[in-house]
A and B are shown apart, each in its own frame.
Chain A
Amino acid sequence: MKRLLLAECVKMKRTLVLALAVLVPLVLCCIACFPRIRVGMYDPSATDGWTTMFSESLGMWAVMIGPAFIALQTALASNIEKSNRMYAQMYCLPVPRWHVFLAKFVIVSGVIALSQALLLLFAVVSGLIIRWLRLRPEFVWTAFGAKFEKAATSSISCFVLCLFMIAIYSYMSERWKNMLVVLGVGIIAPLILTNFIFHRVMIVTMPWLLHFNSLWGYLRNPSLLALKQNLWIPHMVSVLGAIVVLLLGCKLVEERDVLS
């Protein structure tokens, strides 16, 4: 497995997957922190600099980008083995096929985690720039450590809550050769399911809504906060759901005949 992970890392060199892992959080941060915060689009009454930076970045990530970006990255990573023939070559190597599938999942998860880490980093850098240029003079930049810790915790939580979704996309990438299937689901499913974001059961069970649970710490609306439930439920659903889907994926790759 360790060998396969290393091999997957070599494969990632010069790929769009890796470029997007850096570019998307950077662009997102630029959009979140400069046009929106500078002109006060987000919350004009907010004066806490660091909280605004982190909540804006993580919120944009979860609401606007997350599911589609994960679908795109999973589809692109899987598409590196462009056709069945590439898989045929891979499966001729003396490693169990399910190791190949799991290695791909781990690498995609790693790339998503990297993007989220970069998002936090870029949010910090953007905050420093806004503070230095005094773009929002009314902002107070205090208690960075505590606020960064809260943002990092939310970010890690968001990543764990995305695992179910990553596993589903990984399975689909393996099942259907055409990457449009994954991309289609990655765009349409969140669009439909976001309508159920205020549903008490859906928000803790649906793979495309789970990551919203990582944002509770930044919500101030009392009617929304009333929906907050014990956070271990969505985390467990995400992890267990991912395990079940990965087991199905392992079964699929082990049993499937590789034809051209």
Chain B
Amino acid sequence: MFGNIAAVKQLSLSVPEKCVYGFLGPNGAGKTTTIRALLGLIKPTEGKISIFGKLMPEEKIPILWNIGAIVEDAALYLHSTGYDNLRISQIILKCDRSRIDEVLQLVDLERDANRPVRQYSTGMKQRLALARALLGKPELLILDEPTNGLDPAGIQEIRNLIKAFPQQFGVTVFLSSHLLSEIEQIADYVGIVKDGALVFEGKLEDLKGRFSSYVKLCTDDNGQARNILEKHGFAFPPSDSPEALSVQLRSKEDAPRIVNILVNNNISIFHVSQEARSLENIFLSLTTPTL
């Protein structure tokens, strides 16, 4: 809770192992708050946080041994060299010193390791932060908007790195972003959050399949039409406009069936059209407030 506003409520995320999970939502949806709570940086006003089957913050230290994270921005010691930045984490994480060279090589920073970080570009800083997050061989990597502030080339570099992590290191990546295009290119699974609550979770294909094909109806009584169709087992994706009723199609036969049902129930239909939505439209319809 921040004041009277619940930033996150009843959120249960199922993140499959060794995949990239995209945690998507508009600004202010509660993504960063969720990540902070998962990392024990903030305490919930009510309820419990469970991760790896352990309770946060009660079992914070054992949980954090299995997590590598970048919270919001790279957060590096600018006066120190890249190597020393990693050395600080390596000492605390008790891992082998040779691991520093391994992760530096992975993010292609070996040659710049002895330069002060203040001389690094934003992309290099972000890569160094990724290297630091990987240092302790975590099971779960939590990355909060890792491409923020990067140029297109930097974004591409980070994307390619992240995409390879699950297969290369067997790590699960939990990636938050407000950019659908980014998640679309990296993630296997997606969780969409709006006003602190989960509105969709599953594979990206499921998201497309569930919400992409629908009919848009304008009738003399949309409320009544909705009630009737609901009884016939139809689902209603969030509508783009308040005057129209959107009905989810499960097969191509559904469109004429919907018309028949409504006509048989004396509902006048002024407009009917079959529509397909882009992933972006699906995301917008799920996350923007309906009128």
Contacts and interface: CB of A to CB of B under 8 A. Distances in A.
Interface of A: 3-4, 6-7, 10-11, 13-15, 80, 82-83, 85-86, 88-89, 91-96, 257-260
Contacts of A89: 69-71, 75
Contacts of A91: 39-41
Contact of A7 (B36, B40, B88): B88
Nearest to B37: A257
A97 to B, nearest CB: 9
Interface in B76-96: 77-80, 84, 87-89, 91-94
A96 B61 contact: yes
Contact of A10 (B32, B39, B62, B91): B91
B65 interface: yes
Given A93-B93, A258-B41, A13 B71 contact: no
Given A15-B79, A92-B71, A259 B42 contact: yes
B88 A10 contact: yes
Contacts of A82: 78
Q: Chain B contact residues: over half helix, strand or loop, or mixed?
A: mixed
User: Which size class do B's interface residues fall under?
Assistant: 20 to 34
A257 B91 contact: no
B272 interface: no
Interface of B: 32, 36, 39-43, 61-62, 64-65, 67, 69-73, 75, 77-80, 84, 87-89, 91-94, 116
Contact of B87 (A10, A14, A15, A257): A10
B201 to A, nearest CB: 24
B77 A80 contact: yes
A93 B92 CA distance: 8
Specify which of A86, A93, A95 lies most central, judged by the most chain B CB atoms within 10 Å of its CB. A93
A96 B92 CA distance: 11
B278 to A, nearest CB: 32
A93 B40 CA distance: 10
A10 B80 contact: yes
A10 B84 CA distance: 7
Nearest to A95: B92
A257 B42 CA distance: 5
Nearest to A259: B42
Given A91-B40, A92-B64, A11 B71 contact: no
B145 to A, nearest CB: 12
A75 to B, nearest CB: 15
A119 B130 CA distance: 43
A141 B84 CA distance: 46
A93 B91 contact: no
B158 to A, nearest CB: 17
A5 to B, nearest CB: 9
A260 B71 CA distance: 10
Contacts of A257: 36, 41-43
B61 A258 contact: no
7 contacts: A3-B92, A6-B91, A91-B39, A92-B64, A92-B69, A93-B64, A94-B64
Nearest to B71: A88
Nearest to A80: B77
A93 B89 contact: yes
A92 to B, nearest CB: 5
